[in-house]
Structure 1
Amino acid sequence: MSNSAKMSAKQRIEALVDENSFVEIGGLITKRNTDFNMQQKAVPADGVITGYGVIDSNLVYVYSQDVTAMGGSVGEMHAKKIAGLYEMAVKAGAPVIELIDCAGIRVQEAFDALAGFGEIYMAKVKASGIIPQISAVLGSCGGGVAVASKLSDITLMDAENGKLFVNSPNAVLGNREEKCDTASAKFQAEAGNADIVCDSEGEVLSKIRELIGLLPANAGASAEEETADDMNRMLDGFDAYKTDAAEALTQIADENRFIQLKETYGPEMVVGLMKLDGATVGAIANSKEGVLSTAGCKKAEQFVYFCDSFGIPVITLTNVKEYASSMEEEKTISQAVADMMYAFASADIPKINVITGEAYGSAYVAMNSKHVGADLVLALDSAKVGVMDATVAAQVMCQDEIAKEADTKSALEEKAKEFEALQNGAEGAARRGYVDNVIEGTSVRKHLIYALQMFGMR
C-alpha cells in the first residue's frame, strides 16, 4: 500500500469495527486556543475521531487521529477527547484501540498541549491492567506519542507507512554514518517496541479484530468461545516440532491459530496468544537455541505480567540447557532471569509447564518449573531433566574412576547411562514429584486442556 492509498481516519474505523456499529462521541469538539491566529484554522473534531463500536459483537472504544487536521497533532481538546474515551471505556469494561497517525505535539498550544500529554498518560496508566489497550501505528508516531503507545498492552505497526520513534532518525547520535531508519517497523520490532508487524494497514486492522476475539474485555471477564476443534485431537509427529517452538504452539492451538508477539525481539523465546478448547491462554516457549537470553527473559517477564493482569492462564514449553554467553549478556542476564522467575513465581494465574526437550540446571528451574510456582508440570517421555547433560555429569563425578579403565570411552558411556537413569530422565523427576505426569508428544494438546478444565478455566 502506497502513501496515496492510505485510508482516512474515518475509513480506518469503518474497516475495523462491524458494519454500521460505530457511534462517534465528541464530533463537534474543536480547539479553544486562539494564540498565533489559531481561531482562523479549521480543525474538525480537533484532529481525532473518538467513539465506540463492536467487533464480532464485542464492545470496543476507538480513536483515530486525522492527519488532514493539523497533522493529527495533539492539542488540549484532542487530548481531553482521548482521556475522556479512556474514562468511558474503564466504566464500561471494554478495550481501547488507538489508530495512531500523528504529527506529534501541537506547538501552537504549548503548555495546554503538554498538559494534554499528561492527561493521556494518566488515563492510560489508570486503565492499565483493567482493560486491554491496543495501539496501531499507521503513520507517524513520534516523541511523546511514541511514549504513550508503549503504555499499551500490544502495539502493531504497518511496515510500509508506520513510523515509531522518540527521536527522529536524523537526530539520533551516531546515526549520521549508518543512516539507519530507526523509526521503521523492522528496527522497532527488533528492539521490542512493536509486538506485531503487518504489511499493510488493512492487515493491521484485521489482526486487531483477531486479537479482540482472543482477549477478555476487561480484567474481570473471560474470553471463552465454542470451538469445533476436537479437544482430544492427537498431534501426530509432534516430537519433530520440539525445536520449532512457534510451530509446536500452532499445532497445539485450536484450529492451529497462534498469534506470536515480539517475534524478532529476543527470538530465543517465543510468546503469544491462542485458544485451547475455546479458552484463551498465553504461551511461552524456548526456541531451538535452548538458551535463556536477556531479551528473551524480558519478553517472557512482560508477557507473564500481562497475562496475570487479565486472568489469562500461561502454558510453557521448556527446552533449555544454558544461559546465553557473551560480554554483553554477562552484564544483564542474571537480572533478566531473576525478573522473569519473579514474574512466574508471583503470578496468580494457572501455570502449566510442559518439558518437551532438555531441561538443565538453574535455567530449567527459572523456566516455570514446579520449584518456582508452576501448578502442573508435564514432561514428554523423551525429555531430559536434571542438573546437566549426563555425559558431562559423568565426567565431573567419575573422572578418576573412568581414567583407570582400559576402555575409557565405554566406561564414560556406562557412567553417563547410569546417571541418566537415576538423575536425568523424565521418570526420575516424576518419582521425586518434580514432574506430575510423563506423557507422549501426541497427547500434549489434550493434557493441556484437561489441566485447564481442572483449574476451572474452561
Structure 2
Amino acid sequence: MRELTAENAELKRAIVAGDRAAVRRQRDLGKHLARERLAMLLDEDSFTELEIHRRHQSQGPKLDERRPFTDGVIIGSGTIEGRRVFVYAQDFTVFGGSLGAAHAAKIQKVLDLATKTGSPIIGLVDSGGARIQEGVQALDGYGGIFRRQVAASGMIPQISVVLGPSAGGAAYSPALADFTFMVRDTARLYLTGPDVVEAVSGERVSHEELGGATVHGERSGVATVVHADEGDCLADVRYLVSLLPSNNMEPAPVTAVRGASRDMRPRLAEIVPAEPNRPYDMKAVIGELVDDGEFFEVHEDWARNVVCALARVDGEVVGVVGNQPMVLAGVLDRRAAQKAARFVRFCDAFGIPLVTLVDVPGFLPGTEQEHEGVIRHGAQLLYAYCEATVPRIQVVLRKAYGGAYIVMDSRSVGSDLSLAWPTNQIAVMGAEAAVNVLYAKEKPAGDPDRARLLAEDYAERFLHSRYAAERGLVDDIIDPATTRASIARGLVMLRGKREPRPRRKHGNIPL
C-alpha cells in the first residue's frame, strides 16, 4: 500500500479502517478488515487504490457529522498471479458498509474499468444494505450496479465473495455474478431479514437459517462455493482466477503440456463397475482424466447428482459435466439440469471447451418433479448445449437412456466428438423397462423366467455396445484406459473450431 505522508490524520485513519469499536466488532465476529482481505486476495504490493478521497455529500441523521473518506468501499486494481483484476471491498467498519450514492458510484466506476480493459471483476461483499438516510439515491445506485453487471455478463468473469451480510436489493449483485463464494457463520444473503419474515408470516427464523452459506450452498444454489473461513475462501478465488480467461476475447491461461495424448489410465476400469446399476464416484473418474487430478468444482453441495467442474487436460482449461451415480443413481432432475445449464453457458461464453461424461438412467420421475417444472429445467440444459459453439466432447461410460441421453450433449444436439466405452448402453430405456412396455399385455412380470429371457433378448439386440456406433451416433468405442488420451487428442483436433450463428438479438431460453 502506498505511503500518504502529506495527508491528514483522518485520511490515514480511513486507510486503516473505521472507528475502533467497529474494528473490534469485526474482530469479535472472526472477520478480517477490508484492506486485510485485499492483501490476502491480491499479489503482494500490486494494489492501486482509486477514489480514496471520495465522501458522501448527503444530509440526514448521523450523516451530517460524519463524512469519512472511502465512504465504506475500497476500489482499485491489482494482480493475481500476475494477471490484472479489478476489485471492490466493502468496509463494514464505515457505516456498516451500507451503500449510498458515493459508495455506489465507486463500484460502478470499477465495473466500468473492468469492462473497458477486459479484466475480471471481484467484489468482496460485507454490507448492511442500502443506506436508509440516502433513500432513493441508494436504490438508484444499486440499479446502476446491476445494469453494469448485466452488460458485462459473458464479457468478463464476475466473482462475488460474500464475507458478511448482503441484504435486500444488495443480494442481487452476488446472484448476478458468475461465481458466488460464501463463508460459513459470517456470510448472510437474503432479500428480507428475519424481523420482516416474522412480521409478515409469523415465522421465526435465524439469520443463518434464512440466508446463511449452508442454505445457499445446499438448498437454493445461489452459492457456487462455500468455505469455512476467509483465508481458504480467498485462496480458492485466486485458484479460480488462474483457470479463467480475462475476458471473452482471450483464451484461458495454458500451462505446460503433460503428454496426456499418450497417457494411459487403467484405473478407470477399476473405478467404474461394468454392471450398469452399481454406483461409483464420478469425481474419481474426473480425477483420472484431468491434469494432476485437480479440478475446481462448482455447486458441490447443491444438485449433487451432477458434477460440474473446471480443470485442465494437457494444460488446456476445460469444463467437465458428469452424472454422479453416487447420488440418486445419477438421474437428472430439475436442479441438476439447471446447475449444468448455467455451467455450460458460462463455459461457452468464455470459450472453454466442454467434456461431458455420461452415465444417466433418465430424468427423475414423479409428480413433484413434473409440477416443479422438470420439463422446463431440462429444456434449459438442452438449450445450453444446442447453443454452445465451443469444442464439445461426449464420453458415454455406461448407460444413457431416453431424453436424458439427448440433453447430455448427444450427437443430435451438436456434440463434435462422441466416444463410448465398451460398457455403453444407449437406448430409450433399460431392458427390463422396455420389456414391461413392449409386452405389457402379456404381463411378463408374472413369469420371471420369461421376463428375464425377453430382457436378455432386448439387450442383445438394442443395448449392445456397437448399436449407436453402427448408426454413426458414436465416433469410436474406446478402451477406458485411453479416455484421457482420447480427450486430449480430441481437444487438439477441435482447436480453432468456428461455428457461425444466424443473426438475431438473442434467443429465448426457457427460464
For normalisation by structure 2, the TM-score amounts to 0.84
Contact 2:126 2:166 in 1 (8 A): yes
Aligned pairs (5 A) from 1:253-264: 253-264=290-301
Aligned twin of 1:383: 424
Aligned twin of 1:336: 377
Does structure 1 residue 249 correspond to structure 2 residue 277? no
**More displaced 10-residue stretch of structure 1: 251-260 or 19-28:** 251-260
Contact 1:182 1:188 in 2 (8 A): no
Aligned twin of 1:14: 39
CA distance in 1, matches of 2:366, 2:447: 33
CA distance in 2, matches of 1:30, 1:402: 79
**More displaced 10-residue stretch of structure 1: 184-193 or 409-418:** 409-418
**More displaced 10-residue stretch of structure 1: 2-11 or 424-433:** 2-11
Aligned twin of 2:138: 113
Task: Return the letter of the residue paired with 1:197.
Answer: V
Does structure 1 residue 351 correspond to structure 2 residue 392? yes
Shift of 1:333: 1.0
Contact 1:361 1:388 in 2 (8 A): yes
**More displaced 10-residue stretch of structure 1: 176-185 or 261-270:** 176-185
Aligned pairs (5 A) from 1:196-207: 196-207=225-236
**Identity of counterpart residues, as a percentage?**
33
Contact 1:402 1:411 in 2 (8 A): no
Secondary structure of the corresponding residue to residue 265 of structure 1: coil
Deviation digits for residues 213-266 of structure 1, max 9, x if unmatched?
A: 001100011113223644133223213444312222122111111111112221
Secondary structure of the corresponding residue to residue 150 of structure 1: helix
Task: Return the letter of the residue paired with 1:220.
Answer: M
Q: In the superposition, relative to structure 1, how do residues 436 and 113 fare at CA in structure 2: closer, same or farther (>3 Å)?
A: same
Deviation digits for residues 2-27 of structure 1, max 9, x if unmatched?
A: 74442110111011111101110111
Aligned twin of 1:274: 311
Q: In the superposition, relative to structure 1, how do residues 10 and 177 fare at CA in structure 2: closer, same or farther (>3 Å)?
A: closer
CA distance in 2, matches of 1:304, 1:214: 16
RMSD over aligned Cα atoms: 2.2
Does structure 1 residue 171 correspond to structure 2 residue 196? yes
CA distance in 2, matches of 1:73, 1:115: 14
Deviation digits for residues 306-342 of structure 1, max 9, x if unmatched?
A: 1111111111111111221232211111111112111
Shift of 1:211: 0.5
Aligned twin of 2:494: 455
**More displaced 10-residue stretch of structure 1: 30-39 or 249-258:** 30-39
Q: In the superposition, relative to structure 1, how do residues 255 and 228 fare at CA in structure 2: closer, same or farther (>3 Å)?
A: farther
Contact 2:391 2:495 in 1 (8 A): no
Aligned twin of 1:187: 215
CA distance in 1, matches of 2:355, 2:235: 26
Aligned pairs (5 A) from 1:309-324: 309-324=349-364
CA distance in 2, matches of 1:312, 1:174: 45
Does structure 1 residue 425 correspond to structure 2 residue 464? yes
Contact 2:124 2:163 in 1 (8 A): yes
Contact 1:74 1:113 in 2 (8 A): yes
Deviation digits for residues 47-90 of structure 1, max 9, x if unmatched?
A: 10000011001110011011111011111011111111011111
Q: Find the partner of 1:225 among 251, 254, 258.
A: 254
Does structure 1 residue 305 correspond to structure 2 residue 305? no
CA distance in 2, matches of 1:249, 1:443: 14
Shift of 1:120: 0.7
**More displaced 10-residue stretch of structure 1: 59-68 or 378-387:** 378-387
Q: Find the partner of 1:213 among 234, 239, 242.
A: 242
Task: Return the letter of the residue paired with 1:219.
Answer: N
Task: Return the letter of the residue paired with 2:192.
Answer: N
Secondary structure of the corresponding residue to residue 78 of structure 1: helix
CA distance in 2, matches of 1:32, 1:220: 39
Shift of 1:411: 5.0
Contact 2:194 2:204 in 1 (8 A): no
Shift of 1:106: 0.7
Deviation digits for residues 154-188 of structure 1, max 9, x if unmatched?
A: 00001131111111134336573565711111111
For normalisation by structure 1, the TM-score amounts to 0.94
Contact 1:279 1:457 in 2 (8 A): no
Q: In the superposition, relative to structure 1, how do residues 448 and 439 fare at CA in structure 2: closer, same or farther (>3 Å)?
A: same
Contact 2:242 2:253 in 1 (8 A): no
User: Unaligned 5+ residue runs, structure 1?
Assistant: none
Secondary structure of the corresponding residue to residue 466 of structure 2: helix
Q: In the superposition, relative to structure 1, how do residues 116 and 421 fare at CA in structure 2: closer, same or farther (>3 Å)?
A: same
CA distance in 2, matches of 1:175, 1:364: 45
Q: In the superposition, relative to structure 1, how do residues 353 and 200 fare at CA in structure 2: closer, same or farther (>3 Å)?
A: same
CA distance in 1, matches of 2:169, 2:204: 26
Q: In the superposition, relative to structure 1, how do residues 340 and 187 fare at CA in structure 2: closer, same or farther (>3 Å)?
A: same
Task: Return the letter of the residue paired with 1:328.
Answer: E
**More displaced 10-residue stretch of structure 1: 412-421 or 199-208:** 412-421
Contact 1:169 1:175 in 2 (8 A): no
Contact 1:61 1:89 in 2 (8 A): yes
Aligned length: 455
Task: Return the letter of the residue paired with 1:194.
Answer: A
Task: Return the letter of the residue paired with 1:294.
Answer: R
CA distance in 2, matches of 1:248, 1:165: 36
Secondary structure of the corresponding residue to residue 283 of structure 1: strand
Contact 2:244 2:253 in 1 (8 A): no
Aligned twin of 2:503: none
Secondary structure of the corresponding residue to residue 148 of structure 1: helix
Does structure 1 residue 365 correspond to structure 2 residue 368? no
Deviation digits for residues 125-181 of structure 1, max 9, x if unmatched?
A: 111110000000011111111111111100000113111111113433657356571
Q: Find the partner of 2:70 among 45, 49, 64.
A: 45
Q: Find the partner of 1:126 among 128, 151, 163.
A: 151
Contact 1:368 1:374 in 2 (8 A): yes
Contact 2:149 2:176 in 1 (8 A): yes
Q: In the superposition, relative to structure 1, how do residues 453 and 3 fare at CA in structure 2: closer, same or farther (>3 Å)?
A: farther
CA distance in 2, matches of 1:165, 1:326: 30
Deviation digits for residues 362-416 of structure 1, max 9, x if unmatched?
A: 221122111112111111111111122123334544678997xxx9655544443
Task: Return the letter of the residue paired with 2:169.
Answer: G
**More displaced 10-residue stretch of structure 1: 176-185 or 448-457:** 176-185
Shift of 1:285: 1.0
Q: In the superposition, relative to structure 1, how do residues 235 and 169 fare at CA in structure 2: closer, same or farther (>3 Å)?
A: farther
Task: Return the letter of the residue paired with 1:189.
Answer: G
